[in-house]
Amino acid sequence: MATLWELMHDCIPDDHARQVTSRYYVDEVMTAPDPPAQVLDLGCGRGTSAALFRRHNPEVHWFGVDIRDSPEAGQRTRTARTDPVVHYDGIRLPFRSASLPLIYSHQVFEHVSHPRELLAEIHRVLRPRGLFIGSTSQFEPYHSFSLWNYTPYGFRVLAQDAGLHLEEIRPSLDGVALIMRTFHGRPPEYSRYWDEESPLNTDIDHWAAKNKRRPALVNLRKLTFCGQFAFRVRKP
């Protein structure tokens, strides 16, 4: 039986083992040489990601897409309403083939009814060598019409089936923290764990220091138990 390491080692990074969010890849892409001038936020919700990209480039062309009855999209602020957002049917993206350099998706795919079909659409509309970055859930209780949780390997298989290549995957906060957050009624003190090491991840860091484990193996253990993970996917 193949282990998660055998299946995933080539896309588990060995530079550090900090927990991250999808913002990690926003910062990485937008500070790289020749950053993209436009980005599509897939499942844009309230449209708050526009500020993340404009922090790096105030002139970036940000636009969003979401389903018409998205509760989060209905909460867009007056400022966010100036950014273009189009509605779609949850599968077919209203963009030309090979037209987009970057697609961003923050905690959306656990809500997607037809993930295989939507990943195929992402492949269609991305330019060659274009990037799909974001995050999704592995161990997260039901929230806001969520449908699925993905193992890192399962997400990789779905991406590969769509003709996409998972280049890198990193752990976010641990699954125990997300489960306990829901169990206790989502108290605000749990929110800090998105920006600092969550409790189980802290225990894993202690285990790694005691046993002198390299970052890739620490990331492996955190990915095994993560509530959410962030990813960088490329169209060949």
Residue type at 143 in one-letter notation: H
Calpha distance 102→122 (Å, rounded):
10
Residue range 190-203, pLDDT digits in tens: 999 999 999 999 99
- The rounded Cα 196 to chain-centroid distance in angstroms is 17
Q: Which DSSP letter does residue 55 get?
A: T
Calculate what percentage of the chain has a pLDDT beyond 90. Answer: 90
- Average pLDDT of the chain, as a whole number: 94
Residue 159 is predicted with a pLDDT of 98
77 pLDDT more than 60: no
Looking at per-residue confidence, does 47 or 22 come out higher? 22
Question: 4-234: what CATH class?
Answer: alpha beta
β-bridge partners, 105:
134
Residue 120 is predicted with a pLDDT of 98
Are 175 and 226 in contact by the 8 Å Cβ rule? The answer is yes
Calpha distance 5→13 (Å, rounded):
12
Packing angle of the helix pair 175-183, 199-211 (nearest 10 deg) = 150
Confidence of residue 79 (pLDDT cuts 50, 70, 90): very low
pTM for this model (two decimals): 0.94
Q: Which DSSP letter does residue 174 get?
A: B
Tokens of 58: 């105030």
Residue 106 is predicted with a pLDDT of 98
Q: Which sequence spans correspond to the domains of the chain?
A: 4-234
